[in-house]
Structure 1
Amino acid sequence: MDPADAVIDRVQVERLDESVAGPWKAGDSRFAVVVEAGEVNGVFAPVDELPAALVATRLGQSALRHPVADHTGLLRRLLAELGPHAAGLGRWAVGALDCAVWDLHGRLADLPVAALLSDRPAPRVPVYASWLSLDLAAESAAESVKATAGEGFAFTKWALRGAEAAEMMLLAERAAKWAGDSVAVDALGAWGHLRTMEVAPLLTPETVRWVEDPLARTDRTAYTHLHEQAKGLRIAFGERLSHVDDARALLEHCRPEAFTFDAVWCGGITEARGWLGAAHDVGVPVHLHGRAFLPAVHLAAAFPDAAGAVEYQVVWEPRRQQALCGTLQPDGGHVALPDRPGLGMEVRR
């Protein structure tokens, strides 16, 4: 079937079979979004229950009979269907459906998604490692950081939460020493303005390459204020944003060290292209969030001038890949772009 002639015949949500994709643990995503044209299926998995339910009960119906290759038109239709509820969970659901349609398009065209996005996608994509559940104050932390950094990742990222400012500085310095390089720090939205102002003068570029999400909300006013007051602090944000206009305004006014949005949470591969362009226009490096690792790899391969190293979540990503036949594992700080059609990985169903 020619992709130009194909329309979406069916959209369904399937619960993944625990006997082949499990065993499940708390927090695991357990659903797949399946899109069909003729006798060809496109699939995106794993997906959490709430966005999967929104696809099953509302968005899937809106996608029926839409041309498979008209990704921009489908995105507009889905966002219009959600109306004022398009932020947050709505964007996540749209993103999951969008990725399934891209997988379908690639299978129909017999091309990887990255090759649909670009004439010359990169064969390999750099990745960085994040391990946000590791307690840097634990006795075993030194070995864990050294072992992770020793695998050749572009760099590493670690979480710093509720410690006092001086202790956070010490932990960051230790992590950088163990890693043998500066590290990224994720504040998980928990620092707030005052704590960030306390910590900012204590962190040097030689130790910390950026502090990600120091504020609970990615708000233009709050981050502009922080940018003006905490001069020299390298900040990253992006995964908590829902609209490209908000993203563009923040990028222009705050000029973060890195833009770390998620390729599914933002609304999918189609929407992500605009976000990459917005960051590229103002010269802000993009390091795609690792929750949607497979779509992020295709985007980074298609647009290597706009997207740098992709986040590889060393604890969670191997668990998510249990839902896939085969694995997409980093090797020497890079991951190979799948060369099979679509997203390139079969889902265990």
Structure 2
Amino acid sequence: MGLADAVIERVRVEHLDESVAGPWERGDSRFAVLVEAGGVTGAFAPVDELPAALIATRLGQSALRHPVADHRGLLHRLLAELGPHAAGLGRWAVGAMDCAVWDLHGRLADLPVAALLSDRPARQVPVYASWLSLDLAAASAADSVKATADEGFAFTKWALRDAEAREIALLAERAAEWAGQSMAVDALGTWGHLRTMEVSPLLVPETVRWIEDPLPRTDQTAYTQLLSRAAGLRVAFGERLSHVEDARALLENCRPEAFTFDAVWCGGITEARGWLGAAHEARVPVHLHGRAFLPAVHLAAAFPDAAGAVEYQVVWEPRRQRALHGTLRPNGGHVALPDRPGLGMEVHR
């Protein structure tokens, strides 16, 4: 069977083997999505329980007999199955399916996904480090920040929440000093308008590159109002968005310092290409969210002019990759694009 004739014959969801990847801890993703055609299996893992269940009960059946290489057509079919208001969990499930099919396409074509997306993908992709569970007020924080920065990442990102404005500014200044460079701050949606406006004048670009997700919702009206009141505020957002129309409006009207959408949560690699194009047109830098690390690496390799350093979650990403052969780890602030077909992963089964 040639690639042009290949259609999706089977979709399965499997529980990952705890004897290989375990023991499981709270928050671990425990499922793999498997898609078959012509005796070849594509995969995406790890996937959380709820999107995996949606694939097993609805989306997998909708994908059967669809041509493997028709990614745009499959995306439309899956979104139609979910209805006009598909967002959140639905987009996440569609994105996981989309990535599994891209992996299958690459295996059938004997090419990495990045080489399907671009004739000349980059061989090395820059990454930045995020460690959002580290308490910057802890006695050991300085050593942790220094050790992370010394690994050569493009920059680092740390969480700051549950503190008064002056304490946030002081901790940010200390973290930048420990890292030896400006760093990004992730507010994790906890600050709100008042706290953000209190903190904004206390931060300088030499210390903080951006404040990510200061507001609980990524809403155009809310961010427009915030930015009109906090002159010079450098914000980043994107991972909470589900629709490209919302993304375009925010990029055009709010002009973030960085667009940080997730390659799976937005609907998958197929949809992410459009989001990269929208950001490129708006001249907004993209730093892809690290939850979907492997797809993000392939996208950044295929479109280096549109996507900058990818987020590497130094605590969570090694845990996610325990269930995979061929793990992808940074070296000197970069990761090498896998040269194996598809996404370059093999699931322990």
**Counterpart residue number, 2:178:** 178
Q: Matches of residues 1-349 of structure 1 in structure 2 within 5 Å?
A: 1-349=1-349
Q: Distance in 1 between matches of 2:158 and 2:21?
A: 28
- Structure 2 contact 118–302 (Cα < 8 Å) conserved: yes
Q: Structure 2: which amino acid aligns with 1:337? A: L
Q: Structure 2: which amino acid aligns with 1:92? A: W
> What is the DSSP-based 3-state SS (H/G/I as helix, E as strand, rest coil) of the residue aligned with 2:209?
strand
Q: Structure 2: which amino acid aligns with 1:301? A: A
Q: Distance in 1 between matches of 2:12 and 2:143?
A: 45
> What is the DSSP-based 3-state SS (H/G/I as helix, E as strand, rest coil) of the residue aligned with 2:256?
coil
- Structure 2 contact 152–333 (Cα < 8 Å) conserved: yes
What is the percent sequence identity of the aligned residues?
86
**CA deviation after TM superposition for structure 1 residue 190, in Å:** 0.2
- Aligned-CA RMSD value: 0.6
Q: Distance in 2 between matches of 1:166 and 1:305?
A: 37
Q: Distance in 2 between matches of 1:303 and 1:323?
A: 28
Q: Structure 1: which amino acid aligns with 2:2? A: D
Partner deviation per Cα, 1:260-315 (whole Å, 9 max, x = no partner):
00000000000000000000001000000000000000000000000000000000
- Structure 2 contact 128–155 (Cα < 8 Å) conserved: yes
Q: Structure 2: which amino acid aligns with 1:143? A: D
**CA deviation after TM superposition for structure 1 residue 23, in Å:** 1.6
Q: Distance in 1 between matches of 2:38 and 2:318?
A: 33
Partner deviation per Cα, 1:23-58 (whole Å, 9 max, x = no partner):
211100000000000210000000000000000000
**CA deviation after TM superposition for structure 1 residue 239, in Å:** 0.2
**CA deviation after TM superposition for structure 1 residue 326, in Å:** 2.5
**CA deviation after TM superposition for structure 1 residue 84, in Å:** 3.8
Q: Distance in 1 between matches of 2:50 and 2:253?
A: 34
- Structure 2 contact 326–344 (Cα < 8 Å) conserved: no
Q: Distance in 1 between matches of 2:288 and 2:240?
A: 12
> What is the DSSP-based 3-state SS (H/G/I as helix, E as strand, rest coil) of the residue aligned with 2:292?
helix
Partner deviation per Cα, 1:85-127 (whole Å, 9 max, x = no partner):
4100000000000000000000000000000000000000000
- Structure 2 contact 251–279 (Cα < 8 Å) conserved: yes
Partner deviation per Cα, 1:135-183 (whole Å, 9 max, x = no partner):
0000000000000000000000000001000000000000000000000
Structure 2 residue runs without a partner (length 5+) = none
- Structure 2 contact 258–287 (Cα < 8 Å) conserved: yes
Partner deviation per Cα, 1:296-343 (whole Å, 9 max, x = no partner):
000000000000000000000000000111210100000000000000
Q: Tell me the TM-score normalised to structure 2 length.
A: 0.99
Q: Distance in 1 between matches of 2:100 and 2:310?
A: 20
Q: Distance in 2 between matches of 1:186 and 1:73?
A: 36
Q: Distance in 1 between matches of 2:84 and 2:25?
A: 34
Q: Distance in 1 between matches of 2:150 and 2:345?
A: 27
Runs of 4+, deviation exceeding 2 Å: none
> What is the DSSP-based 3-state SS (H/G/I as helix, E as strand, rest coil) of the residue aligned with 1:43?
strand
Q: Structure 1: which amino acid aligns with 2:65? A: R
> What is the DSSP-based 3-state SS (H/G/I as helix, E as strand, rest coil) of the residue aligned with 2:3?
coil
Structure 1 residue runs without a partner (length 5+) = none
Select between 102-111 and 80-89 the one with higher mean Cα deviation: 80-89
Q: Structure 2: which amino acid aligns with 1:144? A: S
Q: Distance in 2 between matches of 1:119 and 1:60?
A: 30
**CA deviation after TM superposition for structure 1 residue 22, in Å:** 1.5
Q: Distance in 1 between matches of 2:206 and 2:337?
A: 32
Q: Distance in 1 between matches of 2:78 and 2:269?
A: 14
> What is the DSSP-based 3-state SS (H/G/I as helix, E as strand, rest coil) of the residue aligned with 1:274?
helix
Q: Distance in 1 between matches of 2:169 and 2:108?
A: 52
Partner deviation per Cα, 1:218-250 (whole Å, 9 max, x = no partner):
000000111111111110000000000000000
